[in-house]
Structure 1
Amino acid sequence: MIFLLILILMIFLANLPWMTTNFMLLFPAKKSLPIIILEVILYFLIFRLITYALEWSMIGSVHNQDWQFYAALLSLFIVSSSPGFVIKVLWK
């Protein structure tokens, strides 16, 4: 069940920059592609902090991860943001 909630959270956070007009939901800004990419990376860091806290609370420790794990997770996060990209850019 928690795995499904983590996937839903990842898809939600990955698509949030494409669906909103404010930067990080707080600051009104005219969003261009570099700002959206920066926002996707910031939401990835927020997602990783949430999953780190969940792993710490459920297991009691956090497994050591190398750079390959983070590269694969960031790639999965970027692929998860593709529905927002299609709706915002390609269907425009």
Structure 2
Amino acid sequence: MSQTASVWLVVALAFLAANLPFLSNRLLAVYPLAKPKMLAVRVAELVFWYFVVGAIALFLEQRVGQIAPQGWEFYAITATMFITFAFPGFVYRYLFKHR
């Protein structure tokens, strides 16, 4: 897989994973819950998916070559980008009126 394809794969996975907690009422999109998920559970899932996508990105970066050193700035920007990606799912879940 080329470097460009890896980058686009990570971006697509991040967008999908960021919206998954808001689009699914199941825990981690697998386990059904007795009650609807609260916002705190959705945020915890969002953090979980952030680390999963980060691990996949690290794996893909290692396959392409040497892993670049990352400081706190890298994690602050990627977390902010992940939260921004989650905005459509948040709007769908909490701001649209469902019948």
User: Could you tell me which residue of structure 1 aligns to residue 69 of structure 2?
Assistant: 64
User: Could you tell me which residue of structure 2 aligns to residue 36 of structure 1?
Assistant: 42
Letter in 1 for 2:94: V
| Aligned-pair Cα RMSD in Å | 1.0
Tell me the secondary structure at the aligned position of residue 29 of structure 2: coil
Task: Give structure 1 stretches of 5+ with no counterpart.
Answer: none
TM-score, with length taken from structure 1: 0.92
Question: How many angstroms apart in 1 are the aligned matches of 2:23 and 2:95?
Answer: 13
Number of equivalences: 91
How far does the alpha carbon of each residue in 1:12-48 deviate from its partner, in whole angstroms, 9 at most, with x for none?
Answer: 0100110111111222223100000000000000000
Structure showing the higher strand proportion among its residues: 1
Question: How many angstroms apart in 1 are the aligned matches of 2:56 and 2:77?
Answer: 17
Task: State whether structure 2 residue 17 is matched by structure 1 residue 13.
Answer: yes
Task: State whether structure 2 residue 84 is matched by structure 1 residue 75.
Answer: no
Runs of 4+ in 1 over 4 A off after TM superposition: none
User: Could you tell me which residue of structure 2 aligns to residue 84 of structure 1?
Assistant: 89
Letter in 1 for 2:15: I
Q: Share of identical aligned residues, percent? A: 29
TM-score, with length taken from structure 2: 0.86
